[in-house]
Amino acid sequence: MKITIHRGLNQIGGCITEIQSLSGTKILIDLGHNLPDGGGVSEDKYESPENLDQLLDGCSAVFYTHYHGDHLGFAAEIHERGVAQYMGPLAIKIMIHLNDHMTYAEQLKDRAKANLKALNEFKTFAIGRKTIIGDIAITPYGVSHSAPDSYMFLIECDGKKVLHTGDFRDHGYLGKGLYTMLEKHIIPQGIDVLITEGTNVGQRSKSVLSEQEISSQFRQIMRKYKNVFILSSSADADRLWSIYRAHNKSRQPFLCDAYQKKMLDIIRDGYDPDKPLYRFVTEDIFDIRNHWTNSKLVEWMHDKGFTMLIRRSETFQRYLDQVLPCCAPDETCIVYSMFNGYIDPDHKAFNQNLYDFVNQFPNTVFCHTSGHASKECIEKVCCIINPTTAIIPIHKENSFDFLTLPSEINVKIFNEGALVV
């Protein structure tokens, strides 16, 4: 087996890992765009058709750990080249809904339509069941991340076994099952190579809040402020559930737009109905389009306040231009529940438009936790798996930060080339 990390060794995002068997069967794990800068610009060598052709030459399939753009970025182009693409069933539905919504934006509709054509022909897989591509077997296992329906992959080939973690964490709602899953399904396999994300390795030590703690913070914010606007990812199931749980403790109306309501339905229907997680009752959530025509809702909002999920868009801005003047400044806030770098003028990911959008509110409250594993979590996973040959860190700005892990952890760092197992 030959492992080639085409991208991701010393950068966050844009991950591409190649697995090739001795007989020549080739698959890729993730093929994402480089993360854009604050202005939305992303320089990417694989936007060149020649470079993408070279990467995909002889490739039988691409498997996606999850749907974030730095892992899934070239679906339409890969589809045009006839290469099979695999992703989780709920992730496919989320991406179809997202791209369907994008077709209403003039500048995005052509790209969205091309993506939809590809997504409608995506193949999927089931947790714990092998998918066979030539002489390579891929078995997915669910993990917690800020994207629902995320996976790590056990890859078997030429008598060797590789675990590719994708993005994961242990502080999300599904995170408590991480170590049980590893001990039950992965450790008995005997792993030769562990390819793990390392986003937070090397970060200055800081506490990582659990989603339960985030929900508690939201409850406190909703007690302090009467009118609460929340800016978060429209598809982050954990964060949406944290907000929803917090709001259920109040007697206020909950509002969002039709796109968000349908997203909540898709997430809810993608999980076990007999379990309490992600049980959004969207019949009790109000559509902002009906706000002004519902006199009882207007009166309720004026009397008790509200919680509202928003996004930065022209549609929401027009709505906010009407609503914000009706809200007392000392009773009103926006909760910013995303990566802080987007609104930090000193960060390379700074987005001026997003910054201006947030600053129109009288008060800003931050309530967020990382979608990625803490250093302690990664260290524990490395020790539990204890691969025989190597640990390869990816999704990390400086792979050498992994050398700060305990010396008994067998980290192998390389900047280019391939590892033959």
159-197 pLDDT, tens per residue?
A: 999 999 999 999 999 999 999 999 999 999 999 999 999
Burial class (CB in 10 A: 0-12, 13-18, 19+), 85: buried
Query: What pLDDT shows up at residue 399?
Result: 73
pLDDT confidence of residue 113: 97
SS3 label, residue 255: strand
Q: What are phi and psi of 38, to 5 degrees?
A: -60, -25
Phi-psi region of 211 (alpha: psi -120 to 50; beta: other; left: phi over 0): alpha
Residue whose pair of structure tokens reads 């790209």 in the numeric block: 111
Residue 158 pLDDT grade (very low, low, confident, very high; cuts 50, 70, 90)? very high
Name the residue among 296, 277, 304 with its Cα closest to residue 176: 277
Question: What confidence score (pLDDT) does residue 408 get?
Answer: 66
Query: Does the pLDDT value for residue 233 go beyond 60?
Result: yes
Return residue ranges of the chain for CATH 3.40.50.
Answer: 211-366
Question: Residue 247 — φ and ψ, nearest 5°?
Answer: -65, -35
pLDDT band at 38 (very low <50, low <70, confident <90, very high): low
Task: Answer whether residue 40 shows pLDDT above 60.
Answer: no
Ranges for all domains in the chain classified under CATH 3.60.15.10: 2-203+371-420
> Is the per-residue pLDDT at 266 higher than 90?
yes
Residue type, 404: T
pLDDT of 90 over the 90 cut: yes
Topology given in CATH for the domain delimited by 2-203+371-420: Metallo-beta-lactamase; Chain A (3.60.15)
Tell the residue number behind the tokens 């005997």, with chain if given. 190
d(CA 8, CA 199): 11
What is this structure's pTM? 0.95
Rounded to the nearest integer, the mean pLDDT of the chain is 93
DSSP 76: H
User: Which tokens go with 159?
Assistant: 């008598």
Measured over the CA atoms of residue 170, residue 336, residue 236 and residue 392, the dihedral's sign is: negative
Q: Strand 2-7: give its sheet, edge to edge.
A: 84-86, 59-63, 26-31, 16-20, 2-7, 418-420
CATH code, residues 211-366: 3.40.50
